[in-house]
Amino acid sequence: MKKFLFAIAVSFISVTSISAQILEPVKWQFGAKKLNENEAVIFMKAVMDNGWHIYSQNVEEGGPIKTSFSFAPSSDYTLVGQPAEPKPKVKHEDVFDMDVAYFDKEVVFQQKIKLKKGAATVKGTVEFMACDATQCLPPDEVAFTVAVK
């Protein structure tokens, strides 16, 4: 009888853990390229599962959560301007009653930096919201560290 109850408990836990999987439709990759002794570019690439998208950095108030980057202060570098992004797709979303700019499949954001010492470690976070045709996940935040040598 104990073995039977144990088998039922294991089965219940297995089924419960399978149905409670966390969706992570966006994977981030980070890297850097040194342009010269004094400048570099930080690359922040999002790869989305089929059917999923994230939003541009340029979304009007009242819309979805836009993608945003935050960089930790450092004495080794300074940011040059804002993160750049390619031209997004635009569509009207009824739920927000507005046109919104978004990216699907993959997108690479770029942040130019000026190096003060020839090398740096760039730390920061990206906040974003992923949606598909039927749902939006709560905003998520991913921390990153990129070595520039």
Tokens of 121: 């470690």
Closest to 144 (Cα-Cα) out of 113, 123, 120: 123
Assign a CATH topology to domain 28-148.
Answer: Immunoglobulin-like (2.60.40)
Across 30-43, average pLDDT:
97
Domain residue limits, the chain: 28-148
Q: What is the pLDDT of residue 15?
A: 39
Global confidence as pTM:
0.85
Q: What is the pLDDT of residue 1?
A: 46
* Percent of the chain predicted with pLDDT > 70: 86
Higher pLDDT, 95 or 98: 98
pLDDT digits (tens, 9 = 90+) for 48-94: 999 999 999 999 999 999 999 999 999 999 999 999 999 999 999 98
Mean pLDDT of the chain: 89
Angle in degrees, CA 55, 101, 34, rounded to 5: 65
